[in-house]
Amino acid sequence: MTAAQAALQQDISGREQFNSWFREEFERMQREQEATHTPSMAIVATKGTLDWAYPPFILSSTAAALGWNVSIFFSFYGLELLRRELDLKVSPLGNPAMPMKMPMGPEWFRNINWNIPNLLTSNLPGFEALTRSLFQTTLDNHGVASIKELRELAIDAEVKFIACQMTVELFGYSKADFIPEISEWSGAASMLALSQKADVTLFI
């Protein structure tokens, strides 16, 4: 083997050793970063009905209980979930899952699928109030916590509540209408910055 060949072989061997060391070091640093990284979640809540109020609070409080940093951006009708006095309803109109099965009566009655046309549900006086009552009864029968209780749970878990300032002005709300635990009053730009850094972003 000539001196040039020996030098080339030594150079290749040195590069292979360096590449092996670099891979091991990179993987070690990744493991350390993952071990010390706190996951984060950003949720955009835009619905103001009773059925749609559950997902943001359940998901946020669960993630917070797991040690995640969680923020919820309440925009448009989602602001209803932050009001001091909650008066959330359920709309069966355009909802293929509605109406729900009856939460009371004999088993054969509770197992009936009530296929009621939208034309009837939208024009029958009191039907929306009935739907809300049946939905609430179903929740109570299964021991599901109320929205107010879930909201308090999220607050205790240090979930960050962000209210959309533009929507507040658009709908003519007053900040006095809302709970004092709102962390921030801001707009879409702040939410986008938050979502960009979040590990998980959900639109509800």
User: In angstroms, rounded to a whole number, what is the distance separating the alpha carbons of residues 138 and 96?
Assistant: 18
Q: Which of 65-79, 124-138, 145-159 has the lowest mean pLDDT?
A: 124-138
Where do the domains of the chain lie?
1-37, 42-203
pLDDT over 80 at 16, yes or no: no
Cis peptide before 96 (omega within 30 of 0): no
Count other C-beta atoms under 10 Å from residue 161's C-beta: 22
Query: Model-level pTM?
Result: 0.71
pLDDT tier for residue 29 given thresholds of 50, 70 and 90: low
User: In angstroms, rounded to a whole number, what is the distance separating the alpha carbons of residues 115 and 117?
Assistant: 7
Average pLDDT value for residue range 167-191: 91
Task: Judge contact between 41 and 59, C-beta under 8 A.
Answer: yes
Is domain 42-203 in CATH 3.40.1260.10, yes or no? yes
pLDDT over 80 at 70, yes or no: yes
User: In angstroms, rounded to a whole number, what is the distance separating the alpha carbons of residues 109 and 140?
Assistant: 19
- What angle, 0 to 180 degrees and rounded to 10, lies between the N-to-C axes of helices 127-141 and 50-65? 30
User: In angstroms, rounded to a whole number, what is the distance separating the alpha carbons of residues 168 and 37?
Assistant: 35
Residue of higher predicted confidence among 20 and 80: 80
Q: What is the mean pLDDT of the chain?
A: 79
Collapsing DSSP to helix, strand or coil, 169 comes out as helix
pLDDT tier for residue 125 given thresholds of 50, 70 and 90: low
Cα Rg of the chain, angstroms: 27
Average pLDDT value for residue range 109-114: 59
Q: Give residue 56's region: left, alpha or beta (phi > 0; psi -120 to 50).
A: alpha
What pLDDT is attached to residue 78? Answer: 94
Average pLDDT value for residue range 35-40: 80
Task: Judge contact between 162 and 74, C-beta under 8 A.
Answer: yes
Count other C-beta atoms under 10 Å from residue 125's C-beta: 7
Q: Which one of 38-47, 84-93, 143-152 scores highest in mean pLDDT?
A: 38-47
Average pLDDT value for residue range 65-78: 94
pLDDT over 70 at 50, yes or no: yes
pLDDT tier for residue 90 given thresholds of 50, 70 and 90: confident
What pLDDT is attached to residue 23? Answer: 74
